Amino acid sequence: MGGRSMTMTFTSSRPRTASETWPVAFLDRENRIRYESTTGTVIATALRDRGYFVFKSVLASRRDFVNCYLLFDELCNAVSHDRSIADRLYAAVQEWQAEGDIARYFCGVPAGFKTRNDRDGSSGHRFKDYLQYTLAFAQSNAFRRSGLQSFPCVAQLYESLAELHFTCSGLFTQAIKSICNLANQSLYSRLVYDDRLAPVVIKVLRYRRNPLRWATDPHFDKSALSLIIHSDDEEFSVRLGAQGSGAIRLSELRSPISYPKSPVDPNDAVLITGLCLREMGLGEFPPSPHLVLPVTDRPFRHSIVAFYLVPYLRGTDILRTTVNFINDVDGRIT
């Protein structure tokens, strides 16, 4: 493994404009997947009314994502043999976050790496490993001084995620523009800063097999928007889509992407609302509850998710992410 062969080559990093139409998928009234071109208004309306929106043909090649997962596995293996890699990354992140207004701009969400045996010993991470990437950290002096780029898996993974950052930034910015056009244009300047890298965090995850436990418990994201970019699922295993103030039932949640997929099909990505839209005054956009089904059929499930944060928003550390949830389908799963 090495060199450019492991590098993802995502499509356009060019931010899209409000007038441009995107090919997208949606569920019709009979819950059938349909595809059509649409505009930003449709995206914002779907996020307001349903809490999610499916993009089609936006992010490229499944093979690129699989290569990313191989690099992440390599990084996890390296960390399991040499804890100093994770410690050096942790120290570099701490140093970076102490610079200027970084911590407030990124809303206190750290770049970093967590594994089952991480330093905080949190039981919540027993079943997953993850890397949180921000381009601003990758370009920082703190990261350069860490020397971690000398590890090929780190260097190649970071190079790939840098490309993905620009693709996601364009998508998020377009969606935010559409949301603000629909609801409150004056809030746009609180979310988008033309003179800085977008406040985007990309998370690469792998969940271990555990048939009796949700891979990710039912929850809301703390982000403004989240983009469920890709997973190596044979069947899409994220469930989402219910709205309302009462308890969420598993039977009410849905899978917005139809599977199985042909390997040559373009990738689907699902955009969902997080808690911070409401927190910053966009109360028409409630957060979207979601979960990841148990991993039953393989040692690991890999996925990539991106988050768009709200710079300088206060109080995000005490937001309640837990969903009032009823499993009315399979009581064995906790």
Q: Which is nearer to Fe ion, 221 or 268 (CB)?
A: 221
Q: Which is nearer to Fe ion, 6 or 275 (CB)?
A: 275
Q: How far is the CB of 19 from Fe ion (least distance, A)?
A: 31
Bridge partners (DSSP) of residue 35 are: 25
Task: Single out the segment in contact with Fe ion by CB under 5 A; choices: 52-60, 139-147, 192-200, 215-223.
Answer: 215-223
Binding of Fe ion by 268 (CB under 5 A): no
Q: Which is nearer to Fe ion, 74 or 221 (CB)?
A: 221
- Choose, by CB under 5 A, the member of 64, 129, 221, 268 that binds Fe ion: 221
- SS3 category, 306: strand
Binding of Fe ion by 275 (CB under 5 A): no
Q: Which is nearer to Fe ion, 57 or 321 (CB)?
A: 321
Q: Which is nearer to Fe ion, 115 or 303 (CB)?
A: 303
CA 134 remoteness from chain centre: 12
Task: Single out the segment in contact with Fe ion by CB under 5 A; choices: 49-57, 85-93, 99-107, 219-227.
Answer: 219-227
Binding of Fe ion by 233 (CB under 5 A): no
- Helix (H) or strand (E) run with residue 188 in it: helix 188-191
Count of residues touching Fe ion (by CB under 5 A): 1
Phi, psi of 133, deg, nearest 5: -115, 135
Task: Single out the segment in contact with Fe ion by CB under 5 A; choices: 36-44, 91-99, 199-207, 221-229.
Answer: 221-229
The total of other beta-carbon atoms located within 10 Å of residue 185's CB is 11
Q: How far is the CB of 222 from Fe ion (least distance, A)?
A: 9
From the number of C-beta atoms within 10 Å of its C-beta (0-12, 13-18, 19+), residue 100 rates as exposed
Binding of Fe ion by 270 (CB under 5 A): no
Task: Single out the segment in contact with Fe ion by CB under 5 A; choices: 160-168, 182-190, 214-222, 246-254.
Answer: 214-222
The total of other beta-carbon atoms located within 10 Å of residue 163's CB is 17
Task: Single out the segment in contact with Fe ion by CB under 5 A; choices: 122-130, 170-178, 217-225, 235-243.
Answer: 217-225
Q: Which residues of 141-153 are buried (b: 16+ CB within 10 A; e: fewer)?
A: ebbeebebeebbb
Q: Are 70 and 6 in contact (CB under 8 A)?
A: yes
From the number of C-beta atoms within 10 Å of its C-beta (0-12, 13-18, 19+), residue 110 rates as middle
Please report, as ranges, the residues that interact with Fe ion according to CB under 5 A.
221
